Amino acid sequence: MAQQATPNPPQGTNWLVDGPGRILVSAALPVLAFLLLWQSFIFMRDADAPKLVIGVVALLVGVGGVWLLYYAINRLVETLPDDTRDKLRPYVFVGPALIILTVFLVYPALNTIVLSFMDARSENFVGLDNFVFAFTDESMQVALRNNALWLIIVTSVSVSLGLIFAVLVDRIGKWEPLAKSLIFLPMAISAVGASVIWRFMYDAKPASRPQIGLLNAILIETGSDPVLFLNEIPLNTFALMVIMIWLVTGFCVVVISAAVKGVADEILEAARIDGAGEVRVFFSIIIPSIRTTLITVGTTVFIMVLKVFDIVYVMTNGRRETEVIANRMFNEFYRNGNYGRGSVLAVVLLIILLPFLYLNLRDLRRQKG
């Protein structure tokens, strides 16, 4: 009689791949990744650690550690049912960014608003006293006036120059990349570096001594006396504005130039055939066609100018009536130790900024619609 074959027993499943083990491993990976990042941050704050090692750890953690954290969280989500997995996966990638924004932007902003109603040491509630100081103190009125001048002059001049240069370089053919590179070059320099450069440009010596400042050297050669650009009021404020204009005009040129190239050639040719001159084409066709870009660029420059600090701090530190809100805020916080007044100045900057952000967002929504 033939012997009946005995079926092979079922092989056991790998608990690390299937079953509860997979869930435990997937849950442990994000915890381990977070602990690795946390310990790395603690190490990088150690003042005694070698700088080279800190740089290497920062590079590895900034790239590999963050990737590992996202991978671990995504692996954990993969263990969930299909419906739940599809709903949670977007938050795996958006969630960390929202947490970081909340911790480092939303919470500090709310805390600053609270501190603006407190005294110098943030111990007692003083109501609107700090706001009264911000708008009635004589030195603060100088800072507010200067900020208004910065916003009006620097924003309008930078965007206007950017628009003019963008239209001009669009017509020089093969030299356009070189021209744009030269105009954009100051953007590669930090505001502090630019301030140091222009400090030498504005340097003034007695007329009997050799001038190391380029501008005064030119004045001496033309028979004029040296000018103290950083001491004479209000010339010093406008001299500081020139630095900011020099820095941001390149940004305006590059962005506006891309918009100018997007204007349809057919419309421009039709206008020229109808007898419109170049000036008429510029104001009646090019500017209306790139209106949204001009608003966006103007808002960006406005925000950059509103927060101007580095240039004033390096060049004059607010002396001789060159004070601005951001520099005064820094001095109130770190020189005078008055956290209430420093916070209220930050709130003032936020209040000034909000309407322009709203207008910009509304214009973007209108464009999408």
Tens digits of per-residue pLDDT, 295-329?
Answer: 889 988 998 999 899 999 999 988 889 999 999 99
Q: Is residue 13 part of a domain?
A: no
Residue 192 included in any domain:
no
- Same domain as 55, residue 162: no
pLDDT in tens, 110-166: 999 999 999 988 889 998 999 999 999 898 999 999 999 999 999 999 999 999 999
Residue 181 shares a structural domain with residue 79: no
* Residue 72 lies in domain: 20-115
Structure token pair of residue 196: 């140091």
From residue 166, give the alpha-carbon distance in Å to each of 60, 183, 245, 250, 252: 41, 10, 15, 10, 8
* Single residue among 115, 147, 168 that ends a domain in this structure: 115
Residue 316: phi, psi to the nearest 5? Answer: -135, -15
Whether the CB-CB separation of 192 and 310 falls below 8 Å is answered with yes
For residue 229, is it within any domain? no
Query: Which range has highest mean pLDDT (263-267, 270-274, 345-349)?
Result: 345-349
Neighbours of 151 (CB within 10 A): 18
Is the pLDDT higher at 67 or at 343?
343
- The number of domains in the chain is 2
> Can you give the pTM of this predicted structure?
0.77
Residue 27 and residue 163 share a domain: no
Residue 122 domain-assigned? Answer: no
Q: Mind giving me the DSSP string for 166-214?
A: HHHHTTSGGGHHHHHHHHHGGGGS-HHHHHHHHHHHH----TTS---SH
39: left (phi over 0), alpha (psi -120 to 50) or beta: alpha
Q: Between 54 and 363, whose confidence is greater?
A: 54
Q: Which residues have CB under 8 Å from 122's CB, separation 6+?
A: 115, 339, 340
Provide mean pLDDT across the span 43-67: 81
CA atoms within 13 A on the CB side of 20: 0
What confidence category does residue 22 fall into, taking pLDDT thresholds of 50, 70 and 90? low
Q: Is residue 63 situated within a structural domain?
A: yes
